[in-house]
């Protein structure tokens, strides 16, 4: 066996800066890897366990000196972005990046490329821009834009002639997943019907469904069969709903794919795949960087040393990013010093240093059963994927009563309605006791929506008065007439697939009640009397309405002014209906 080089002096110095508990954990795990003939640095082990975030500690992050070809660079800086910038990344060798350009690249765009590669742990010491003839640059860009989607068109044509070709089917499944990930897809929908015009492959991108590929039924059928087989389902059963999972390697990392199968009339079948990429999870800092009051109040609870119990609830509709926020909050907990458990149905992302229990229809125990069982396992923090029934809500409240911090999600329209929603789950026999516990245990109620953001390359910047000339409306929106705002480009560009929008941002609402007992008793009385709308008026309450978050997005130029104005009008109408 080859000898493993000892850590360098520089690595030892970096390790000395680490929290001693984290360092002890990392050294123990490092020893296990060494016993298997593999060397992992302390930084690698800490990062693997979510204890040393590269976003939080970029000054100590270890970059890889790795040579990448044009094809390898395309994994980290997508072809669409390169085309939008009018460049072609040629090569990364010994820390030197070569870029073919038609015109000199702007400093901001150059920094975007550097950050994209550094996020992928690639070391960039020098950037060399090579001016090149426009015709030659166009040829290179066409060659390097060969993507999974283009291969799919050829594969589908070949499968039409050879629908039983196993290698073609395998490649098609691979390229469907790769194209979806390149397109920032969250869910893939595949529908099989005997009628060819109904066999669509659709992607959900930034909250919208995109009809992508229409293929013959004789091609769709073997693809669905292969997906069901890979996901450990019964491929022959087309009469019952089924759930499964499969793993997919992309850009050097494993993507977890949650697969659900459903029979559809007449005689068809539907598969939906949720793509779970841990690298796309946002850190605590990213989630709340524009809401310092929210992050400060959450940190005070998450870093607290007393076992007083508490309840943090994240609410919103399906697809609003509740799970992402939940996992971001978990990352902020020092899991090397606290026992953290999660109960989910099912587990979505594997979280280091968290004992996760998956509850599905095939398991005998309910979420409430697992919560009650956890009381015998010395927990500090209990994560509940979703409160969806009376038993789960009661078990969660009793866990807070016994001194545990509970973090969970629920479907509700806003931060105030979250309390009414929990109240609605309580049985008549337990309601008074449950609301008393809720009133004293509630740390915070967060309600969120995801709103589409304008494309950073092609959006239009203009004074708000060019769009809204009504002085009363501007006053209502708290915007100055000369405020520069963003507007989505209706023509779009290559980067945003000519849609004008790229990505989504968090529109957050938050409620944090005061800590004193008198205020807590007042909150309990309000909930018992069904007047939760007045809780925000209690002195000491921190309440950040969603309209403030929307205004912030408009002023930062992230949200299209027309969409932002519509959202503000909607919030005003909802506020009036709720009497606030």
What are the structural domains of the chain?
9-60 (no CATH), 70-139 (3.30.300), 148-279 (3.30.450.90), 281-448+514-542 (3.40.50.300), 456-499+545-580 (no CATH)
Helices (H) and strands (E) in the chain, counts: 21, 19
Task: Retrieve residue 404's tokens.
Answer: 């545990």
CA atoms within 13 A on the CB side of 320: 19
Do 186 and 277 form a contact (C-beta atoms < 8 A)? no
Q: What is the pLDDT of residue 533?
A: 80
Cis (ω within 30 of 0) for the bond into 559? Answer: no
Give residue 215's pLDDT: 93
Closest CA to 168 of 232, 231, 233, 222: 222
Residue 348's region, left for phi above 0, alpha for psi from -120 to 50, else beta, is: alpha
DSSP 8-state code for residue 283: P
Give the pair of three-digit tokens for residue 552.
């912030």
- Specify the length of the chain in residues: 580
Residue 251 CA to residue 267 CA, distance in Å, equals 37
Identify the H or E element spanning 187.
strand 185-192
Give φ, ψ of 429 to 5 degrees. Answer: -70, -30
Tokens coding 170: 């395998």
Q: What stretches of 300-339 adopt beta strand conformation (E)?
A: 310-315
Regarding beta strands 355-358 and 340-344, do their DSSP bridges make them parallel or antiparallel, or are they unpaired?
parallel
**Eight-state DSSP code of residue 269:** E
Give the DSSP letter string of 227-244: HHHHTT--TT--SS-EEE
Q: Cis before residue 50, ω within 30 degrees of 0? A: no
pLDDT of 2: 42
Q: What is the pLDDT of residue 8?
A: 46
Write phi, then psi, for 204 (nearest 5 degrees).
-100, 115
Distance CA 548, CA 518 (A): 29
Alpha-carbon span 153 to 200, nearest angstrom: 13
Closest by alpha carbon to 415, among 345, 507, 327? 507
Please answer whether residues 105 and 99 qualify as being in contact, where contact means their C-beta atoms are separated by less than 8 angstroms: yes
pTM over 0.85: no
Ramachandran angles phi, psi of 504, nearest 5°: -135, 155
Contact 279, 263 (CB under 8 A): no
In angstroms, the CA 371 to CA 392 distance is: 8
Could you tell me the two tokens for 94? 């010994």
Cα–Cα distance, 255 to 248 (Å, whole number):
5
Average pLDDT score over the chain: 84
Predicted local confidence at residue 72, as pLDDT: 66
Tell me what pLDDT residue 547 has. 92
Quick: pLDDT tens for 221-276: 999 999 999 999 999 998 999 999 999 987 667 889 999 999 998 889 999 999 98
Alpha-carbon dihedral 413, 418, 420, 423, rounded to 10 degrees = 140
Q: Any bridge partners for residue 315, and if so which?
A: 410, 447
- CB 281, CB 329: distance < 8 Å: no
Angle value at C-alpha 150, between 144 and 154, nearest 5 degrees: 130
From the list 295, 509, 304, 528, the residue with the least C-alpha distance to 434 is 528
Percentage helix, strand, coil for the chain under 3-state DSSP, each rounded to 5: 40, 25, 35
Q: What's the token pair of residue 75?
A: 């994994």
Give the span between the Cα atoms of 551 and 178, in whole angstroms: 36
Per-residue pLDDT, 139 = 64
Contacts (Cβ under 8 Å, ≥6 apart) of 180? 188, 203, 275
How far apart CA 469 and CA 481 sit, in angstroms, is 8
Helix/strand/coil for 446: strand
Beta pairing partners, 127: 97
- Beta-strand pair 253-264/242-250: antiparallel
CA–CA dist 505, 449 (Å, integer): 8
Question: Residue 277 in contact with residue 268, Cβ under 8 Å?
Answer: no
Per-10-residue mean pLDDT for the chain, 580 residues long?
44 57 80 75 77 46 55 69 79 86 81 76 83 72 59 89 92 91 89 92 91 93 96 92 89 84 92 88 87 92 84 91 90 90 88 89 84 94 93 94 94 90 92 92 94 87 88 84 90 79 90 91 90 86 93 92 91 73
328, 282 in Cβ contact below 8 A?
Answer: yes
Whole-number Å distance between alpha carbons of 460 and 453:
12
């Amino acid at each position: 066996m080859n000898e493993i080089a000892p850590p360098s002096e520089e690595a030892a110095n970096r390790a000395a800066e680490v929290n001693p508990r984290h360092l002890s954990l990392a050294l123990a795990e490092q020893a296990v890897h060494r016993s298997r003939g593999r060397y992992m640095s302390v930084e690698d082990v800490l990062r693997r366990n979510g204890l040393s975030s590269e976003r939080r500690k970029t000054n100590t992050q270890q970059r890889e000196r790795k040579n990448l070809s044009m094809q390898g660079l395309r994994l980290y800086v997508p072809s669409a972005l390169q085309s939008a910038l009018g460049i072609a990344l040629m090569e990364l060798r010994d820390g030197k990046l070569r870029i073919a350009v038609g015109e000199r690249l702007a400093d901001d765009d150059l920094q975007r490329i550097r950050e994209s590669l550094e996020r992928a742990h690639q070391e960039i010491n020098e950037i060399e821009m090579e001016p090149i003839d426009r015709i030659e640059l166009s040829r290179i860009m066409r060659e390097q834009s060969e993507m999974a989607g283009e291969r799919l068109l050829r594969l589908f044509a070949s499968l039409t002639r050879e629908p039983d070709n196993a290698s073609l089917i395998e490649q098609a499944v691979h390229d469907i997943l790769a194209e979806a990930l390149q397109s920032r897809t969250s869910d893939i929908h595949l529908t099989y019907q005997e009628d060819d015009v109904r066999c669509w492959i659709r992607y959900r991108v930034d909250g919208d469904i995109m009809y992508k590929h229409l293929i013959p039924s004789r091609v769709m059928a073997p693809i669905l069969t292969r997906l069901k087989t890979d996901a450990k389902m019964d491929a022959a059963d087309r009469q019952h709903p089924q759930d499964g999972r499969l793993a997919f390697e992309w850009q050097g990392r494993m993507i977890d794919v949650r697969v659900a199968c459903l029979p559809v009339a007449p005689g068809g079948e539907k598969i939906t795949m949720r793509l779970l990429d841990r690298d796309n999870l946002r850190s605590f800092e990213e989630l709340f960087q524009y809401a310092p009051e929210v992050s400060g109040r959450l940190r005070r609870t998450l870093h607290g040393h007393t076992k007083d119990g508490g309840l943090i609830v994240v609410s919103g509709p399906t697809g609003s990013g509740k799970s992402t926020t939940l996992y971001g909050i978990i990352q902020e907990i020092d899991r090397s010093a606290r026992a953290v458990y999660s109960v989910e149905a099912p587990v979505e992302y594997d979280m280091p240093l968290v004992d996760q229990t998956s509850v599905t229809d095939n398991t005998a125990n309910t979420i409430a059963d697992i919560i009650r069982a956890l009381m015998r396992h010395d927990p500090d923090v209990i994560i509940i994927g979703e409160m969806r029934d009376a038993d789960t809500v009661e078990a969660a409240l009793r866990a807070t009563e016994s001194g545990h911090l509970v973090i969970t999600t629920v479907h509700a329209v806003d931060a105030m309605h979250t309390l009414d929603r929990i109240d609605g789950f309580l049985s008549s026999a337990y309601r008074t006791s449950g609301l008393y516990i809720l009133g004293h245990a509630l740390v915070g109620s967060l309600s969120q929506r995801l709103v589409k953001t304008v494309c950073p390359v092609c959006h239009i910047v203009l004074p708000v008065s060019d769009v809204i000339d009504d002085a009363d409306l501007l006053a209502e929106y708290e915007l100055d007439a000369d405020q520069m705002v963003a507007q989505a480009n209706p023509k779009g560009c290559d980067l945003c697939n000519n849609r004008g929008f790229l990505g989504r941002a968090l529109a957050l609402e938050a409620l944090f009640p005061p800590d004193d007992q008198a205020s807590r008793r007042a909150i309990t009385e309000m909930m018992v009397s069904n007047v939760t709308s007045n809780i925000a008026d209690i002195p000491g309450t921190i309440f950040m309405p969603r309209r403030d978050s929307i205004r912030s997005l408009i002023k930062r130029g992230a949200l299209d002014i027309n969409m932002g104005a519509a959202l503000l009008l909607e919030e005003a109408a909802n506020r009036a209906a709720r009497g606030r």
